[in-house]
Amino acid sequence: MSSIVLGMGNGALMFGDADVSDVPDSDLIELVDPETVNINAFDLSVLRGDGIFEATTAWKGFPVSLEIHLRRLVRSARLMDMPEPNVAAITRGVQAVMNAYDDPEPGPMLRIIVSRGLDVSTGVGKAAAAEGKTAPTIFIFEDGKGTLHTPDPITMASMTRGYPSDITARAPWLLNGAKTLSYAFNCAVHRECDRRGVGDAVLFTEDGYTLECPNSTIVGRYGSMLVTPDPRIGILDGTTQREMFSWALQEGQQAVYKKLPIEELRDADRLYMVHGGWVIPVKELDGKAYECDPAEIAAINDAIHSGRTHDDALSIGPTGDYEF
Amino acid sequence: MSSIVLGMGNGALMFGDADVSDVPDSDLIELVDPETVNINAFDLSVLRGDGIFEATTAWKGFPVSLEIHLRRLVRSARLMDMPEPNVAAITRGVQAVMNAYDDPEPGPMLRIIVSRGLDVSTGVGKAAAAEGKTAPTIFIFEDGKGTLHTPDPITMASMTRGYPSDITARAPWLLNGAKTLSYAFNCAVHRECDRRGVGDAVLFTEDGYTLECPNSTIVGRYGSMLVTPDPRIGILDGTTQREMFSWALQEGQQAVYKKLPIEELRDADRLYMVHGGWVIPVKELDGKAYECDPAEIAAINDAIHSGRTHDDALSIGPTGDYEF
């Protein structure tokens, strides 16, 4: 039984604009043994965290929000000055990986990992480049045996990200808004959460505006209105959050992007942490309790997992001008 | 001929406090083919940049500042809540790698890379943990074929790091001062330098204090005094910079750590970018020209490479209280 499927993609075909419609799967992606070594030590993912990724849930074979994730991968590549991902080729690779998965677990993790390729400042990378091998490294995995999302309510603390709210406009080299492999900070925030005895964190700017969680988006409910921080402040453009907004609009509710003071977030009626194809209720933020409605959470997750929100989510996003 | 030597360390012995004096080299480190795959895709170096490293030059078989680098590795591990590196075991591993190198290039790059190990939130990492295999991943390489340092004068621009100067005291989860594998930001600064047509960058805080360069320390000369930013502001504790300070003191000059306004850095008589066992002169910062003395640079680098500054450098560091 294949519970963990790992495919090493063909970087030369999965970036750029080659027409891959006649390319067989076997030339696009090679399934390899996930338990053994399969990456070179001089790859920029290993040495520098110099790459990008996307992660979602494949719910009963449906890769939740895949198109939105791949659009964000394209955006991350642009922010990182990397070659443009070939969305058609990567989609084929995702499908090939999913075809090989046959564990009973209905909601395995699905992840797409990209690095800039071998480090050309090392001897191994330089030799590869001399032979014209400079394509990004890409691999895709589906994993039914790792830690999976649950909709159990979580507790949360807020922490500073250390930046002012206008930094993204002034310092694009900070890569704010790109989903990079340099996740040591994000991991450190989760260890800080462990120390404080909370489940996760929401980050804010030095001047008090809400950003995001280390690996998810925050959404607040105020009556029948959902609110999330406008990603133009320099955070990831939420994927599952757009599915959730799509659900809200389908239900006749409102969904708003804004520059959101952390104080205003704390004043929400309900809070949701949103990522990887799942909406998770927040039962406490900075010691304040919030109401959670398991029926609501189940309804939203069902709508997202069934694909009901997929098409509408594609056109959701912040509009108008943004003032830093 | 071995121009690139890659050794995969034994993480169980290279972390913690085991006495390795009777352990044979072959149990401490395994030399592997650098050209092929040698890391698992679910390693936290690959997936999260969740690890630490050190890099220096092995000048004619002398690993420049190795003790200082390993002390900093210990400090980085602590900031990252990782197991304590076993300095004696890692030193043995470095020696084993150097013993296998036999390229005529006198100054190969020497690097020690550590990750937290396999990602236990993935199926592969969870299964390994269930078997008790939770040690960090460590590998060491010596590379005479990559891009090597030269003492050619460089141009430089200053850029904001986005943080205020007191953030390190308030937000340890930012990992300021740890040398992590999450280097996407550092790489992005170098791409921004390419766009601006300069060789490197020096970063400053939002309130105008000098920090460090993306992968090096900045030193200014004012008459017979060398000045570098106090690392307690939240930057790496410079290794080659301490060797340089040791040289200055041996020469009857002064060497000072301080909270250094970027304006004051620009007022220096000379500037030096310092890393990996090399002092490199800066000939221009933000369009202002600086004098470079090739004979001085050669004298400092010779002193460092010959080991003359090694012992004194061990006891150099900032003293007294630090005011954020």
ipTM, interface predicted TM-score of the complex: 0.97
pLDDT interval class at A324 (50, 70, 90): confident
What mean pLDDT comes out for the span A81-102? 98
pLDDT score of B313 more than 90: yes
What mean pLDDT comes out for the span B256-267? 98
pLDDT score of A1 more than 80: no
Mean pLDDT of chain A: 97
Catalogue the E-assigned strands of chain A: 4-9, 29-32, 51-59, 62-63, 109-115, 137-143, 154-160, 200-204, 217-222, 225-229, 254-258, 270-275, 278-285, 288-289
Paired strand residues for B224: none
| Domain regions of chain B by residue span | 4-143, 154-313
**Is A50 an 8 Å CB contact of chain B?**
yes
pLDDT score of B1 more than 80: no
What mean pLDDT comes out for the span A31-49? 98
Cα gap A148→B122, rounded to integer Å: 9
Inter-CA distances, A84 with A15, A118, A140, A141, A209, Å:
5, 17, 17, 20, 32
> End-to-end CA distance of chain A, in Å?
52
What mean pLDDT comes out for the span B254-264? 98
Q: What is the number of CB-based contacts under 8 A between chain A and chain B?
A: 219
CATH topology of domain B4-143: D-amino Acid Aminotransferase; Chain A, domain 1 (3.30.470)
- Best of B187, B194, B235 to disrupt the A interface by mutation (most A CBs within 10 Å)? B187
Got the DSSP string for A36-63? S--B-TTBHHHHH--EEEEEEEEETTEE
The two tokens of residue B222 are 């004012």
* Residues of B whose CB is below 8 A from A126: 145-147
Greatest CA separation found in chain B?
Answer: 61
pLDDT at site B232:
97
Chain A, residues 268-307, CB within 8 A of chain B, namely none
* Residues of B whose CB is below 8 A from A139: 41
Q: What are phi and psi of A208, to 5 degrees?
A: 85, 25
- Per cent of chain A over pLDDT 70 is 100
- Best of B29, B173, B193, B324 to disrupt the A interface by mutation (most A CBs within 10 Å)? B173
**Is B162 an 8 Å CB contact of chain A?**
yes
Q: What is the CA radius of gyration of chain A?
A: 20
What mean pLDDT comes out for the span A132-161? 97
* Residues of A whose CB is below 8 A from B160: 167, 170-171
Other CB atoms within 10 A of residue A269 CB: 12
pLDDT at site A80:
98
pLDDT at site A11:
98
pLDDT interval class at A196 (50, 70, 90): very high
Q: What are phi and psi of B296, to 5 degrees?
A: -65, -45
Query: How many angstroms separate the CA of residue A322 from the nearest CA in chain B?
Result: 20
Q: Are A249 and A312 in contact (CB under 8 A)?
A: yes
Cα gap A6→A147, rounded to integer Å: 17
Cα gap A138→A318, rounded to integer Å: 30
Paired strand residues for B155: B284
**Is B207 an 8 Å CB contact of chain A?**
no
SS3 for A138?
strand
pLDDT at site B94:
98
pLDDT at site A323:
86
pLDDT score of A30 more than 90: yes
Q: Are B147 and B215 in contact (CB under 8 A)?
A: no
Contacts of B83 by beta carbon, 8 Å cutoff, 6+ apart: B15, B16, B77, B135, B136
Distance of CA B84 to the CA centre of its chain: 18
Cα gap B285→A115, rounded to integer Å: 32
DSSP B58: E
Q: Inter-chain contact A49–B3, Cβ cutoff 8 Å?
A: no
**Is A320 an 8 Å CB contact of chain B?**
no
Mean pLDDT of chain B: 97
Inter-CA distances, B51 with A38, B73, B115, B178, Å:
19, 10, 4, 10
pLDDT at site B292:
97
> pLDDT for B58-67, tens place per residue?
999 999 999 9
pLDDT at site B116:
98
Q: Inter-chain contact A41–B139, Cβ cutoff 8 Å?
A: yes
The two tokens of residue B84 are 């304590």
pLDDT at site A182:
98
For domain B154-313, the CATH class is alpha beta
What mean pLDDT comes out for the span A29-34? 98
pLDDT interval class at A219 (50, 70, 90): very high
> pLDDT for B181-216, tens place per residue?
999 999 999 999 999 999 999 999 999 999 999 999
- Of the candidates B162, B175, B188, the beta carbon closest to that of A184 is on B175
pLDDT at site B323:
86
What mean pLDDT comes out for the span A156-183? 98
pLDDT interval class at A107 (50, 70, 90): very high
Cα gap A128→A116, rounded to integer Å: 13
